Structure 1
Amino acid sequence: MEIRRITQVEAVEAAGHLFDAPPRRGATERFLADERHHLLIAYLDDVPAGMVSGVEMTHPDKGTELFLYELGVDDSFRGRGVGRALVSALADLARERDCYGMWSITEEDNEAALATYGRAGGVPEEGLVALVWDFDQV
């Protein structure tokens, strides 16, 4: 398995099946243009097998942490450690960039994500509640 940090729109488009929806070119360009945004893709025999994205966030009294935004592994590659390898690679990148930590959020019944994050060293944070603001997109 080879994990590559992605900087080209074409690589994202070629791995579009790994995302929840087809990548939008403008959003992809904006994401890749920001050095605080990270996209890693795992390849098995040059086939995109999985991806993970992360976004650095900095606060004046805390420093910089990395938010693991999304993890996706193609169905045919699940159960081979691709997700764990991607999460671990993103954590390594966060350390290299002097982030004090990394975090993510998922549904409480998402057993695959919880298992993957746990195998990669993540632990649940007790007592947290996720709140969302959903702005209509036209």
Structure 2
Amino acid sequence: MDIRRTTTVTELLTAGHLFDAPPREEWAARFLAAPGHVLLIAYVDGVPAGFVSGIEMLHPDKGTEMCLYELGVDDPFRRRGIGRALTRALVDLARERGCYGLWVGVEPGNEAARATYRSAEAAEEDGGFAMLTWDFEGGGAG
């Protein structure tokens, strides 16, 4: 397995089957050009097998932390440690970039994701997590 940081729109679009919906070229370009946005792709025998995306967030009184925005592994490559390796690679990159920490939000019932993050040495906090959202017309993958 080879994990590489994605730097071109072509690389990202070639791995389009890993995303929830086909990536749009203009959104891919904006993501890759934005400071603090990171996309790592895991390749197995030259084939994109999984990805992780992260976004740095800077606050005036806290410094910079990394949010693990999304992790995805293609079905034929699951349960082979790719998700853990991608997560660890993002953790290492966040540390190299001077982030004070990394976090990810996970639904309480998503045991597969929770197990992946625990296997990558994430500490699980007690208590609930609530996410409230605003959905703007025309946004998202739609």
Q: State the TM-score, normalized to the length of structure 2.
A: 0.93
**Which secondary structure does the structure 2 equivalent of 1:71 belong to?**
strand
- Could you tell me how far 1:118 is from its partner in structure 2? 0.7
In structure 1, the residue matched to 2:50 is 50
- Could you tell me how far 1:124 is from its partner in structure 2? 2.4
- Counterpart residue type for residue 133 of structure 1: W
1:14-67 deviation digits (Å, cap 9, x = unpaired): 100111111011110000002310000000100000000000000000000000
- Could you tell me how far 1:81 is from its partner in structure 2? 0.2
In structure 2, the residue matched to 1:136 is 137
In structure 2, the residue matched to 1:83 is 83
1:73-94 deviation digits (Å, cap 9, x = unpaired): 0000001000000000000000
- Counterpart residue type for residue 63 of structure 2: G
- Could you tell me how far 1:122 is from its partner in structure 2? 1.3
**Which secondary structure does the structure 2 equivalent of 1:79 belong to?**
coil
Partner Cα distance (1:136, 1:103) in 2 = 28
In structure 2, the residue matched to 1:27 is 27
Partner Cα distance (1:111, 1:135) in 2 = 30
Q: State the TM-score, normalized to the length of structure 1.
A: 0.96
Where does the alignment leave 5 or more consecutive residues of structure 1 unmatched?
Answer: none
In structure 2, the residue matched to 1:97 is 97
**Which secondary structure does the structure 2 equivalent of 1:99 belong to?**
coil
Partner Cα distance (1:76, 1:101) in 2 = 31
- Counterpart residue type for residue 131 of structure 1: L
Partner Cα distance (1:107, 1:24) in 2 = 27
Partner Cα distance (1:134, 1:67) in 2 = 20
Partner Cα distance (1:48, 1:16) in 2 = 9
- Counterpart residue type for residue 136 of structure 1: E
- Could you tell me how far 1:125 is from its partner in structure 2? 2.7
What is the root-mean-square deviation in Å for CA atoms of aligned residues?
1.1
Q: How many residues align?
A: 138
- Could you tell me how far 1:126 is from its partner in structure 2? 2.9
- Could you tell me how far 1:111 is from its partner in structure 2? 1.4
| Identity of matched residues, % | 62
